[in-house]
Structure 1
Amino acid sequence: MRKISRRNFLLASGAVTISAALSACGGSSSSTGAASSAAASSAASAAPAAQGKVLNIWCWNDEFQGRFNNYYPEVASIAEDKSTTTLKDGTVVKWTINANENNNYQNKLDEALLNQDSAADDDKVDIFLIEADYALKYVDSDYALDVKADIGLTDADLAGQYQYTKDIVSVDGSQRGTTWQATPGLFAYRRSIAKEVLGTDDPTEVQSHLSDWDKFNEVAAQASAKGYKMLSGFDDAYRTFSNNVDAPWVDGTTVKVDPNIMKWVDQTKEYTDKGYNNKSSLWDSQWAADQGPSGKVFGFFYSTWGINFTLLGNSLETPVAEGGKEEVGNGIYGDYAVCEGPQPYYWGGTWICAAAGTDNTDIIRDVMQKLTCDEAIMKQITLDTQDYTNNEKAMEEIANSDYASDFLGGQNHIALFAEAAKKIDMSNAGPYDQGLNESFQNAFKDYFTGTVDEDTAKANFETAIKEKYPELTDVVWPA
């Protein structure tokens, strides 16, 4: 297997910049419900023999901490400040949570992994979490263990998971991470706006109006005529285009800009010039407000985590933290629905990796098995939280049931996610995806607003990536 060298790992560590976007795989554990006793008892087994006395878990927010504390059957107690979790065999889980703004999480994790050999046993990183956008930086290196050969998960353990969730963390047949979630994307739209623009809010009928980009653009014009924006900002549709490219970003040392990404440029420029968007950026205050009671935006591209963690919260007039309830009558709760949209895509996802040098492989195996492979636990997480979990059988059961989301006006969105998940293709993913996608979006915002022309935006992109990745020597644009 080709590994990222120590030098290149350091280059990659400092080269990528991230915005506050990485609430992008989830949010606070306050959104999660406690595991049902039925799920816990069905998964419980004898705790594995203790190895190290401390299990160090690194992550960038408390989403996985919530999943672990609520659903791992071996949890005995949780510290009041949540800094530690004690297991039934006495193992103490220590949580290191570094926010991901300005690449803080990756920088600190990289430093810890590079110093793993010299760290005391109780200070070594045992488990660390990674995201889809930069997964290959870690899995194509010496710092993540093979979940089968090194940790002991079996093909039977992993058989129920969506294939793409295994592909994205595999290099040359070696799988180096596993996840409890799958993150197919859909288009979430306002029912009330759809009724006014299209005369219907029925997801099947709305989908017929949005089933390809030409139709999507036609609805954008119709929405504008009614006083609505089709999208909030520049970035909303980006991943739907970037997930449907014909080849990876990089071939050797050459960056190849895919024609489909240039289609995003053309569409976004048109939407900006015609007033079809609000010129917002992902995660800014305008974008969040556009999803709330005062918003006049037709819809938003969101994957699974976005529905329950982000869109729901933004829809409320009175936030839960201020005493509001997640119920119809609070803001526009109940006024959203989802449809497939013009193209299948995915967004985000969080993977559990075992760090090379860990002294806790037995516990790590049990954590991975229970929290990513156990069908009963996966199903219960979805029923409790509306998150979409990584077990095809469990998700199909919910998809074919009378399950309904009050937030989505009684819609069984799991059924749509189950279909979308089958269409995810990770074959064009690469280790430079995060940095190149972010640099591309940043470079073209000035073009969308008219500050620079298209050629200057292209030149600015080339300059940015040469500074970020000096090993990449050329950029080829589509004819």
Structure 2
Amino acid sequence: MKKFKKTMVLSLAMTMGLSLVACGGSSDDTTTQEKAADSGDDTTPATEQVADFEMPAEDGEKIYVYSWNTELGDGLLKDFKDKYPQYADQVEYVNMGVQGTDPEYQTQIDAQLQAGLGAEKYPSIIAADNDVALHWVQSDYTLNLADIGVGGDDTAQMYQYTLDYATYNGSLKALSWQATPGVVCYRTDIAEEVLGASDRDTVQAAIADWDKFFETADKMKAAGYKMVSGPDDIKYPLADSKKSPWVQDDKLNIDSWVNTYLEYSKKLYDNDYTNKTAMWSDAWTANMDKDVFCYFGTTWFLYWSLLPDNADGTNDAQHAEDYNITTGPASYHWGGTYLSVGKDCPNTALAALILKTICCDTDILQAHCESTLDFVNNKEAVHNLIAAGKGSSKKCGGDNPLDAFDKAAEGISLPYATPYDAIFNGYVDTASQAYNSGELKSVDEAIQNVKDQVADGYNYITIE
């Protein structure tokens, strides 16, 4: 049996959990796959020989590109068709119309992958949200991109963390056209008042590590401000600081970041450094224009979640232009989309050309970044825009966020990513909320709560 089939139980549990958190063969295959997925350390950069690439035939087989909304189809895939009109009729976009982390998205695509060439519209290219991308990266039902001529010079300008994340057992299994480095979005007016200056270097020095972060939180509190809106605001940078994977040799592993997050979140809560909101709640959003000094955010957060403009381009928020960004106490990522190629793709040359164009072509990606503000996974394109003086944003008080995003992306490392991350991180968040409120009385109780949540959904994982 293919490894893909043997991980269906894991995948179903994962996708069901994500919907709540988010927003015939031998059993030997099972053991191999699960242990490989558990290790979280199979991201050795691909060193395999990249096959020669030849342009696809202009009368070749049609292929289907699957995603969950219109963004890819109306954006970069259209750019591909504009550049290569001779292939436009050979590429059809399939918009599933559900969230990328919705179980239905995985279920429908998996059914088509299992059907192989018998599928009505076989998923030749699959778009996957960061939270579920490893499901297909670690599947035998997707191709090693080197085998279809993608890799080497194609990926030379990509941020390394995106390649590591999409590499499994030494094989590059997916590409992303975007990078999503995390930063700290801070209020410049509050920085001027409390720190004496609002430039990025001054603020970075004030929050360069977690000790300094809490020292600055004391200053903010003394001045009548909140450091962050809620105690869960720090979860993404801490989660990416882990030194070991969630599961090792089929056993649950509680990395030290879990204890740190529980302790730091409780400290924020108990010391009134926050307004005790929950991420994405109405109150959390409202605080962006009130008394909160900073938010941990990413590329898309800055442009489209932090006091976003109205449909007509106006903005009613008082502090819409009083923000800037800096790296903060830790490097991290938040989100992203990866593209894999199904193993039974009937026209791998065309699939390869699409990936080379929309994920690797500097000119295409530079134009895409400039026109859409989507931060692209191409360092040359980003550096070209910075050198040309392009990218400045009113969301950063007129400064250019691209250089800050570039610096942050270079610092990201994800050697211990596993398919469990989004779900189990959510379990930690649930336990943290209960610990902060007093329902759970200690860090030990909170960790036991995490273990209990895992035990409820994953009976094949040993918990000690």
TM-score by length of 2: 0.85
Q: Alpha-carbon deviations, 1:62-112, whole Å to 9, x = none? A: 3323432553243799xxxxxxxx963464433323224654433433344
Structure with the higher helix share, 1 or 2: 2
Number of the residue aligned with 2:217? 220
Structure 2 CA distance for partners of 1:409 and 1:427, relative to 1, 3 Å: same
CA RMSD for the aligned pairs? 2.7
Number of the residue aligned with 1:406? 394
Number of the residue aligned with 2:97? 97
Number of the residue aligned with 1:307? 302
* Alpha-carbon distance, 1:375 to partner: 0.6
Number of the residue aligned with 1:126? 124
SS in 2 for 1:126: strand
Structure 2 CA distance for partners of 1:330 and 1:15, relative to 1, 3 Å: closer
Q: How many Å separate the matches in 2 of 1:326 and 1:50?
A: 48
Unaligned ranges ≥5, structure 2: 24-53
Number of the residue aligned with 1:41? none
Q: Alpha-carbon deviations, 1:263-312, whole Å to 9, x = none? A: 11111101111222222222222222222x3x321111112222223225
Residue 285 of structure 1 pairs with residue 282 of structure 2 = yes
Q: How many Å separate the matches in 2 of 1:330 and 1:261?
A: 36
Number of the residue aligned with 1:59? 67
Q: How many Å separate the matches in 2 of 1:3 and 1:420?
A: 38
* Alpha-carbon distance, 1:359 to partner: 1.9
* Alpha-carbon distance, 1:352 to partner: 0.8
Contact conserved, 1:129 with 1:351, CA < 8 A, in 2? Answer: yes
Number of the residue aligned with 1:261? 258
Residue 460 of structure 1 pairs with residue 449 of structure 2 = yes
Contact conserved, 2:60 with 2:90, CA < 8 A, in 1? Answer: no
Q: How many Å separate the matches in 2 of 1:119 and 1:432?
A: 29
Q: How many Å separate the matches in 2 of 1:132 and 1:100?
A: 9
Query: Partner amino acid for 2:296?
Result: F
Q: How many Å separate the matches in 2 of 1:66 and 1:226?
A: 47
Contact conserved, 2:163 with 2:172, CA < 8 A, in 1? Answer: yes
Contact conserved, 2:77 with 2:358, CA < 8 A, in 1? Answer: no
Number of the residue aligned with 2:366? 379
Structure 2 CA distance for partners of 1:468 and 1:72, relative to 1, 3 Å: same
Number of the residue aligned with 1:440? 428
Percentage of matched positions with identical amino acids: 29
* Residue correspondence of structure 1 range 388-427 to structure 2 within 5 A: 388-403=375-390, 404-427=392-415
Q: How many Å separate the matches in 1 of 2:205 and 2:138?
A: 41
Contact conserved, 1:18 with 1:100, CA < 8 A, in 2? Answer: no
Residue 451 of structure 1 pairs with residue 439 of structure 2 = yes
* Alpha-carbon distance, 1:415 to partner: 0.9
Query: Partner amino acid for 2:143?
Result: L
Q: How many Å separate the matches in 2 of 1:257 and 1:212?
A: 23
Number of the residue aligned with 2:461? 472
SS in 1 for 2:204: helix
Structure 2 CA distance for partners of 1:396 and 1:3, relative to 1, 3 Å: farther
Q: How many Å separate the matches in 2 of 1:139 and 1:3?
A: 14
Contact conserved, 2:238 with 2:257, CA < 8 A, in 1? Answer: yes
Query: Partner amino acid for 1:49?
Result: E
Number of the residue aligned with 1:80? none
Number of the residue aligned with 1:38? none
Q: How many Å separate the matches in 1 of 2:170 and 2:89?
A: 34
Q: Alpha-carbon deviations, 1:127-184, whole Å to 9, x = none? A: 21113333222211112212220x3224122222122211111112211111111122
Query: Partner amino acid for 1:389?
Result: V
Query: Partner amino acid for 2:263?
Result: D
Number of the residue aligned with 2:351? 364
Query: Partner amino acid for 1:250?
Result: V
Q: Alpha-carbon deviations, 1:193-226, whole Å to 9, x = none? A: 2222222221111111111111111111222223
SS in 2 for 1:74: helix
Number of the residue aligned with 1:12? 11
Residue 180 of structure 1 pairs with residue 177 of structure 2 = yes
Q: How many Å separate the matches in 2 of 1:161 and 1:128?
A: 20
TM-score by length of 1: 0.82
SS in 1 for 2:343: coil
Structure 2 CA distance for partners of 1:251 and 1:61, relative to 1, 3 Å: same
The count of corresponding residues between Structure 1 and Structure 2 is: 431
Q: How many Å separate the matches in 2 of 1:334 and 1:435?
A: 35
Q: How many Å separate the matches in 2 of 1:428 and 1:372?
A: 24
Structure 2 CA distance for partners of 1:20 and 1:234, relative to 1, 3 Å: farther
Number of the residue aligned with 1:27? none
Of 90-99 and 175-184, more deviation after overlay is shown by 90-99
Structure 2 CA distance for partners of 1:253 and 1:330, relative to 1, 3 Å: same
Number of the residue aligned with 2:163? 166
Q: How many Å separate the matches in 1 of 2:251 and 2:411?
A: 28
Of 131-140 and 216-225, more deviation after overlay is shown by 131-140
Q: How many Å separate the matches in 1 of 2:169 and 2:269?
A: 43
Q: How many Å separate the matches in 2 of 1:203 and 1:347?
A: 21
Q: How many Å separate the matches in 1 of 2:199 and 2:301?
A: 21
Q: How many Å separate the matches in 2 of 1:111 and 1:283?
A: 33
